[in-house]
Amino acid sequence: MSAVWQILQALLCVALAPLLTGIVRWVKARLVGRRGASPIQPYRDLIRLLRKELVLAQDASWLFRAAPYLVFSLTWLAAAMVPAFTTNLLLIPAADLITLVALLGAARFFLALAGLDVGTSFGGIGTSREMMIASLAEPAMLMIVFTLSLLAGTTAPARIVDHVLAGGIGLEVSMGMALIALILVAIAENGRIPIDNPATHLELTMVHEAMVLEYSGRHLALIEAASMVRLLLYVSLLACIFAPWGISQSGKGEIGILIGLASYGAKIALGAVALGVFETAIAKMRVFRYADFLGGALLLAVLATIVLYVSEAV
Amino acid sequence: MNFHYSAAHLIGALVLLLGFQLLYQRRIAAVIRSFAVQAAALALAAAWQAYIQDSPHLYITAAIALVFKAMIVPFALNWLVVRLGIHKTVETALGIGPTMMIGVALVALSIVLVLPVTQNASALTRENLALAMSVVLLGLLMMITRRNAVSQVVGFMALENGLILAAVGVKGMPLVVEMSIAFSVLVAMILFGIFFYRIRERFDSLDLHYLESFRGER
């Protein structure tokens, strides 16, 4: 059965990701008093991009053409590994938080190369900023993984889900700190406000948009889809580690799967609304303050580990 | 681990986190707001200790923390800031990043110090002491790294929050002591207010940097 659920999960990731982005945009529009596009608008955008003619820069190499496919497939693979509605998946033995970080890091690497490939100045600016954010976010992410592995004794998300559902952690301070740190990292990695504004094309502030400025047609569709899938991945990751209630474990049968799917839908919707409200309430940050923001995430994760040692010494 | 213990641990850590929040903030209004939230968290910690230790007088401590430190002091500081016209960016003597790093090192230091000393105490007391000492050290750090007089006063108040946190965690702390601490802080607040006016009158600024030249250090 695990293969069936794995395929279902992989399809679900791609099918739900544009909806998640659409809901976030819709919530943000409503909160600032606009009517907002329908939540299914991102699907229409992707289909439109897929139909459009591909325009390639003269200096574009094979790397530029290959990058969208690599980025999308790496992100998709990572998203398929996070247990969303069941832990009974085919890829679970390979799924590991460190693997996830590595897959996303590889995707970012190719995107950065593609940003530099054409040789425009915007691509270069975007790439250098993206790499700066990545180099700050990754230590924080690994520190969070470290804290979780000390708490649950494993770095596999599925085993962490089992551990939390069995009540092995309880009310733990370190878990709360790790949650805040992971939210900060997720905001930075997905280029949301206050790090990067996904809706802007202002040359002074854009990060992700600057990197993919030269893409068009189906390449752009793939890259947009990849960033949507990455947002879904982080929401699923937060949901599965910190709120695993409802996730079906192996041996629970079809009813368990249905409960898992329903709770997953509810968590995603909640995450989308929360993100929309958060982004409306906060202003974008100056580039030079990124280090403070992500340094805060790193320090929270370090603090979580330190506090853990206090309570384990008891 | 039982729920009483975990919840006390959680609230203590919340107070500590808000201490870091104080270090992270640059703007005066945000610093004062964070301080108010920290005092409210402290009141929560005191109330929770009153509940689990079954000692009703700690509820009074909680009420004092809530009314004086979470409402009156922030309100008075805000009023001062508006009156003196200094609602601008806080100048820090050290950058935010290094300050936070020193802060984490101080937390580690206080844990290393407290844990061996209190081998015989109960787990709850021990952790509470470690957390409270970290809050005290963070308050001190804030007083050192900030130049602006108002944020230094907030650092002092945060330090005092740590003292109260340590006091409520220890069984049998008499109410008189806590009352006198609370009132002395209020008196200190009034004195600071007067000092702000004097400093402001003399130097046209609340940046204590100018005091150094006055003392002949530069």
Q: Return the structure tokens found at A269.
A: 């919707």
Give the whole-angstrom CA distance, residue B129 versus residue A310: 11
Cβ contact A313–B115 (<8 Å) = yes
DSSP per position, B145-195? HB-BHHHHHHHHHHHHHHHHHHHHHSTT--HHHHHHHHHHHHHHHHHHHHH
| A239-295 pLDDT per residue, tens | 999 999 888 887 777 888 899 999 999 999 999 999 999 999 988 888 888 888 898
Residue A279, CA distances (Å) to A156, A192, A193, A199 in order: 30, 8, 6, 12
- For residues A178 and A148, the answer to whether their CB atoms sit within 8 Å is yes
Q: Is B203 helix (H, G, I), strand (E, B) or coil?
A: helix
Cβ contact A311–B24 (<8 Å) = no
pLDDT at A38: 93
Cβ contact B111–A302 (<8 Å) = no
Q: How far is B218 from chain A (nearest CA, A)?
A: 32
Q: What is the value of ipTM here, to two decimals?
A: 0.73
* Higher pLDDT among residues B142 and A1, named by residue: B142
Spell out the domain ranges in chain B.
Answer: 3-214
Containing structural domain, residue A304? 2-313
Among the partner-chain residues B3, B104, B130, the one whose CB lies closest to the CB of A310 is B130
| A41-81 pLDDT per residue, tens | 999 999 999 999 999 988 889 999 999 999 999 999 999 99
Mean pLDDT rounded to a whole number for chain A: 89
pLDDT at A114: 93
Among the partner-chain residues B17, B104, B123, the one whose CB lies closest to the CB of A314 is B123
pLDDT at B215: 67
Lowest mean pLDDT among A22-31, A304-313, B103-112: A304-313
Is residue B203 scored above 80 in pLDDT?
no
DSSP per position, A251-314? T-HHHHHHHHHHHHHHHHHHHHHHHHHHHHHSPPPPGGGHHHHHHHHHHHHHHHHHHHHHHHH-
Identify all chain A residues contacting B20, using CB atoms and an 8 Å cutoff.
Answer: 296, 299, 303
- In this structure, is the dihedral angle defined by the CA atoms of residues A198, A199, A202 and A205, taken in order, positive or negative? negative
Lowest mean pLDDT among A115-124, A200-209, B23-32: A200-209
B14-28 burial code (b ≥16 CB/10 A, e <16): bbbbbbbbbbbbbeb
Cβ contact B127–A314 (<8 Å) = yes
- Would you give the end-to-end CA distance of chain B in angstroms? 56
Is residue A144 scored above 80 in pLDDT?
yes
**How many structural domains is chain A composed of?**
1
The H or E element that residue A38 is part of is none
Residue of A nearest to B127 (CA): A310
Q: In A, residues 156-185, which contact B (CB 8 Å cutoff)?
A: 170-173, 176-177
pLDDT at A311: 67
With bands split at pLDDT 50, 70 and 90, how would you rate the model's confidence at B90?
low
Q: What is the mean pLDDT of residues A100-122?
A: 92
pLDDT at A14: 93
